[in-house]
A and B are shown apart, each in its own frame.
Chain A
Amino acid sequence: MAELSSLWAGISLLADWHVILMMMLGLLFGIVTGAIPGFSTPLAISVMLPITFSMEPLGAIVFLTCIYAGGNFGSSISAILINIPGSPQAIVTGLDGYPMTQQGRGSEALGLAVSSSAVGNLIGAIFLILIMPLLVKFALSFGPPELFLVGVIGLTVIASLHKSFLKAIIAGAFGVLLGTVGMTSAGSTRGTLGFYELLDGIPLIPALIGLIGFSELFLMLQRTYVAGGEASNTSRNSGNLSQLLVGFRRSFRHPVALLRSSAIGVLIGGLPGAGGTVASVVSYNEGRRFSKNRANFGKGEPEGVISAEAANNASEGGALALMLSLGIPGGLATAVLIGGFMLQGLIPGPRLFLDNPALLYGVMSAQIFASFMLLLFGLIVSFYAAKIVKVPTVVLIPLIALFSIIGTYAVKLLMFDVYIMLVFAVVGIVLRKFDYPLIAIILGLILGPILDGQLMRTYQGAGELTLSIFLDRPLSLLLLGILALSLLPLAVRLTKSFFNKRG
C-alpha cells in the first residue's frame, strides 16, 4: 500500500498556510480572469507562470492547477450573463445559461454552475487519484520505442480530432524539428543560427508564453468591440443571493446528470487535443438525450447548465492524468502546466512518481480541497459577477502584455528570452489565424528532444534502426494497435466525404 502512504504524505504537505493561501489565490484569480470575456484559462496560467518561479514546488504547482480549476468555472460566468463565453469551454453553458438570464434567473444559473462545477471538479480529482497508480505502473514499463509511439499517438489523436488532419501533422512535425534545435548528446550543434543561448535548445517557457499567452492577445484585440454593447443589461441580474442559493441547491437534485456529465468530462478530458470544450459539448448533447425536459434544452433548462459545467470541470482530472502519468500535454492549459513543473526543475512523467510521490499526491489531493473552496469562492465571485464581466479589454491587453514580457524576462533575467517569446507569439498568431492546432506544435516542441534522445540511444544500443525494434516488444505492439485505432475517426471521415461526393 505504497500509494496510501504517499497519498497521506501528500495531504499532510497541504497543511501549510502558504500552500493553502496559494490555492485560494489561484482559484480566485482563475475564476475572476475566467469571467472576463476573452481571457482564456491557458492565458491566465501563462501570465502567472513566471511568478511561480520563486515559489516552492508544491505551492507553485497547486497555484497553477487551481487557476485551471477556477478558470473552468469562471468562464461560465460571462457565458451566462452576457452570452460571451470567457473561454471556449463554456460555449454550451451559455446555450441554457443566457436564456435563464433573459428570464431574470441569471443568479440561479450562476448558482447551478458553481455547484455543478465543484462536483465535476471533485469527481475528476477522485478519479485522478484512483487511476494514477495504475497509469504510472503502465507508463513505467515504457522504454524508448514506447515513449516514441505514445508521442506519435498523441499527435494523431489531436490530428484526427482537428478539422484539418494534414495541418495538425505539419504543425506537430514542425514542432518536433524546433524541439531538436541545439547541441546534441553527440556534440553537434543544430540550427542555433549562431546564438549561443540556443545551445540548450529553444527555451520552453518563453516559447510557451509566446505561443499560448501572448498570441492570444491578438484574438482579444479582435473582440474588444464585440463585447461592447451587450454588457449593459446585466445589472438587474447581479447579486441576488437567494436566487444564487436556489440554483446552488438545485443541481444536487440531479445526481444522475451530475455523475454522467462528470464521467464524460473525465474520459474526454484525457484525450489529447479534446479537453474541456469537446467534453462539455458531448456531455450537453448526452444530457439532452437523457433528460425528461428535452424540449426545454436551449431555452433555459437548468439541466443543460449542469451537464455542461460538470463535464468541463471534470475534464481537468482527465487532462491532469494524461499529463502527470506520461508527461504529454493534452491541451494548452496542461502544456503551460508542464512549463510550471519545469520551472521547478521537475519533469512530469512516470519517473516523477518514483522520485517525488508526495509532491504529486499533494497536487492531486489539492484538487479535492479546491473543489470545496470553489463552492465558496464561486458563490462570492458570482455575487459580484456583473461588475467583472464589464472589465474593458482595452485595459487588459496592455496589462497582460506587460506582465508576460516582464515575467519572461524575470525568470532568467535574459532579454534573449523576451525576443524568443515575441518570435513565438508571431508564430502563434499566424498558426491560429490559419487554423493550425497550437497544441500540436507544442506537443512536438516538448517531445522533440525526448524523441531525438531516445532514438539516438536506441540506435547506439542496437547499432541500427529497424522496424523490429517496435514489433518485437509486446507493449509497443499494443501501442501500434492504439495508433491504428486513433486513425479510425479520420478514415471514417474520409470515406464519408468520398461517398458524399459520389452520391
Chain B
Amino acid sequence: MNVLSAIKIVCAEIIVLLLIFGCSALYYLEVAALPSRTLNLLLIQPVFVVITMCTFALIFLKLRDSYMRMHNSEESSLTNASIIEQASASASASIIANTTAHRTFVKNSISFGICTLLYVILLDKLGFVLTSFLYLSVLIYLLGSRSLWLTFVLPVAVVAFLYVTMVVMLKFSLPAGFLV
C-alpha cells in the first residue's frame, strides 16, 4: 500500500516534469524556426538548456530515490513483520479517517472547478447579475451549507453590492445579459 502510493507520487512528479519540459521544448522549437534565429534564441536557448538539464537530473534523482525506498521497504518487511502488522493496522485506521476527508476535498474541488468554469463561460452570455448570483448560491450549497441566509440572502447582497459599486458608482461595464 505504502510502496504503491509512493510509486504513484513519483509517477505524478515525473509527469508534471515532462509536461513543463514538453511545453518548453515546443516553445523552443517554435522560436528556433523563426527568421532571425540567433537574436530570438539569445535568452531562450540557455534557459532551455538549463531546463533540460534540471529536468533530467530531477527525474534521475526521483527514480533512484524510489528504487532505494522500494529496496529498503522489502528488506524491512522481511525482518520486522510484526511491527509492520501493527503499523498497518494503525495506518488503515488513519486511512479510513483520511479517505472521508479526502473524499470531501475531491468532491469540493470538482464542484468548485466545474462551477467556476461554467460561470466564466456563461458570464458574457447571461450577464453578470444572474450568473454571479447563481455561481455564489450553487457553490455555497455544494460546499455544504444548507442555511437560507448563506445560500440565498448573502449572494443577493453581494451581487447587489458589486453592482452598485462597480457599475453604478465606478462605471465599469460588466457583462450585461437579458436581465440587467
- Asked if A and B bind, the verdict is yes
Chain A interfacial positions (CB closer than 8 Å to B): 54, 164, 166-167, 169-170, 173-174, 176-177, 180-181, 184, 186, 188-191, 217-218, 221-222, 224-225, 392, 394-395, 397-399, 401-402, 405-406, 409-410, 413, 415, 418-419, 422, 430, 434, 448, 451-452, 455-456, 459-460, 465
- Chosen A-B contacts, 24 in total, with CB atoms closer than 8 Å, are A170-B54, A174-B20, A177-B44, A186-B36, A190-B27, A191-B27, A221-B112, A222-B105, A224-B143, A225-B104, A392-B145, A394-B143, A395-B145, A395-B154, A397-B139, A398-B140, A402-B162, A410-B172, A415-B123, A418-B120, A422-B120, A434-B13, A456-B39, A459-B39
Judge whether A166 and B54 touch: CB under 8 Å. Answer: yes
A405 to B174, CA, bound (A): 11
Q: Which residues of A contact B101 (CB under 8 A)?
A: 225
Judge whether A169 and B50 touch: CB under 8 Å. Answer: yes
Judge whether A398 and B44 touch: CB under 8 Å. Answer: no
A-B interface, 8 closest residue pairs, ranked by CB to CB distance from nearest: A398-B139, A166-B58, A394-B143, A166-B54, A452-B43, A173-B51, A455-B42, A170-B54
Judge whether A184 and B40 touch: CB under 8 Å. Answer: yes
Q: Which residues of A contact B44 (CB under 8 A)?
A: 177, 180
Judge whether B140 and A422 touch: CB under 8 Å. Answer: no
Judge whether B170 and A166 touch: CB under 8 Å. Answer: no
* Other-chain residue from A54, A218, A406, A465 in contact with B162 (beta carbon distance below 8 A): A406
Judge whether A174 and B132 touch: CB under 8 Å. Answer: no
Is B74's beta carbon under 8 Å from chain A?
Answer: no
A224 to B150, CA, bound (A): 16
Judge whether A170 and B20 touch: CB under 8 Å. Answer: yes
Judge whether B34 and A188 touch: CB under 8 Å. Answer: yes
Residue among A186, A189, A395, A398 with most chain B CB within 10 A: A398
Q: A186-B36, A395-B154 are in contact. List 13 more A-B contacts (CB 8 A).
A: A166-B58, A166-B61, A170-B51, A188-B36, A190-B31, A191-B31, A221-B143, A394-B140, A394-B144, A399-B158, A402-B162, A406-B166, A409-B174
Q: Which residues of B contact A186 (CB under 8 A)?
A: 36, 39-40
Dominant secondary structure at the B interface: helix
A354 to B132, CA, bound (A): 44
Dominant secondary structure at the A interface: helix
* Other-chain residue from B39, B51, B58 in contact with A174 (beta carbon distance below 8 A): B51
Q: Which residue of A lies closest to B162 (CB)?
A: A406
Q: Which residues of B contact A402 (CB under 8 A)?
A: 132, 135-136, 158, 162
Judge whether A188 and B40 touch: CB under 8 Å. Answer: yes
Is B17's beta carbon under 8 Å from chain A?
Answer: yes
Interface hits, B129-172 → A, CB 8 Å: 132, 135-136, 139-140, 143-145, 150, 154, 158, 162, 166, 170, 172
Q: Which residue of B lies closest to A226 (CB)?
A: B101
Query: What distance in Å separates the Cβ of B100 from its nearest Cβ neighbour in chain A?
Result: 9
Q: Which residue of B lies closest to A413 (CB)?
A: B173
Is B57's beta carbon under 8 Å from chain A?
Answer: yes
